[in-house]
């Protein structure tokens, strides 16, 4: 298993202007850490380190060891703001992980056996690429698997159709929202009239 580690420095220069200067002049990413029984802390991260860590999709759903000026704490990504055109990370929110206390995190969705409905003549539309889950830190899954082997044309796969890993619950379902995850539909290609 890969270790996810980020080094950070506490920052006191706060505000929109300060954040812009950090990004422009120092190649740093402003971020905030909150949760647990400690006060929120504003931090800066090196943009290169952040970009390298989040090249791996698993970093979004793993516990990250955050080293703030030598003090280590375990966190998970709560939110991340990217530049709309260039896709680099502009700001990050991290939540402290407290052992024995449930956390919510966003986990990637992996679709498997997609060729089965395609062989039947169907097309697949992925409705979501990630799902919010709630679990203890030790149960945090790397991804949620969606098996499309038995999907028929015209069927919609909902959150309630998925098997959650042990100790994990889907936040949307807990709030009574059975989201669509994927659907299989007939091709939308117009049929060409036969040549005479």
Structure-token match 């090196």, residue found:
46
Residue 26 has pLDDT above 60, yes or no: no
Stated pTM of the model: 0.66
Distance CA 109, CA 5 (A): 23
Average pLDDT over residues 47-76: 81
78-135 per-position pLDDT tens digit: 777 777 777 677 778 888 888 788 888 888 888 888 888 788 888 888 888 888 888 8
Task: Provide Rg for the chain, Cα atoms.
Answer: 21
The full set of domains in the chain, from first to last, is 5-98 (2.40.240.10), 105-185 (2.170.120.20)
Q: What is the pLDDT of residue 4?
A: 82
Distance CA 109, CA 100 (A): 25
In the chain, at which residue ranges do the beta strands (DSSP E only) sit? 5-10, 28-34, 41-46, 64-68, 71-82, 89-96, 103-112, 123-126, 130-135, 143-147, 156-158, 169-170, 180-185
Residue 191 has pLDDT above 60, yes or no: no
Average pLDDT score over the chain = 80
Residue 12 has pLDDT above 80, yes or no: no
Q: What is the pLDDT of residue 117?
A: 79
Q: What is the dihedral of CA 22, 6, 139, 2, to 10 degrees?
A: 130
Structure-token match 């999709």, residue found:
57
Q: Which two tokens stand for residue 37?
A: 């029984």
- Where residue 1 falls among pLDDT bands split at 50, 70, 90? very low
Distance CA 45, CA 92 (A): 9
* Percentage, residues of the chain above pLDDT 70: 86
Q: What is the pLDDT of residue 48?
A: 82
Distance CA 42, CA 19 (A): 11
- Where residue 196 falls among pLDDT bands split at 50, 70, 90? low
129-160 per-position pLDDT tens digit: 888 888 888 888 888 888 888 888 888 899 98
Write out the DSSP string of 46-82. EHHHHHHHTTSGGGGGS-EEEEETTEEEEEEEEEEEE
């Amino acid at each position: 298993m890969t270790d996810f580690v980020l080094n950070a420095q506490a920052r006191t220069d706060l505000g929109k202007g300060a954040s812009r200067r950090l990004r422009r002049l120092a190649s740093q990413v402003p971020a905030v850490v909150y949760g647990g029984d400690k006060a929120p802390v504003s931090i800066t991260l090196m943009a290169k380190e952040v970009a390298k860590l989040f090249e791996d999709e698993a970093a979004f759903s793993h516990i990250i060891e955050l080293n703030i000026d030598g003090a280590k704490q375990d966190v998970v990504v709560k939110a991340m703001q990217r530049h709309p055109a260039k896709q680099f990370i502009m700001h990050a929110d991290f939540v402290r992980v407290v052992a024995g206390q449930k956390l919510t995190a966003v986990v990637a969705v992996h679709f498997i056996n997609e060729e089965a409905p395609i062989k039947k003549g169907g097309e697949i539309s992925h409705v979501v690429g990630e799902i919010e889950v709630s679990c203890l830190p030790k149960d945090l899954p790397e991804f949620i698997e969606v098996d499309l082997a038995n999907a028929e044309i015209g069927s919609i796969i909902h959150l309630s159709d998925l098997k959650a890993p042990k100790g994990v619950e889907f936040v949307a379902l807990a709030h009574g929202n059975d989201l669509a995850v994927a659907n299989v539909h007939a091709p939308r290609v117009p049929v060409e009239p036969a040549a005479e």
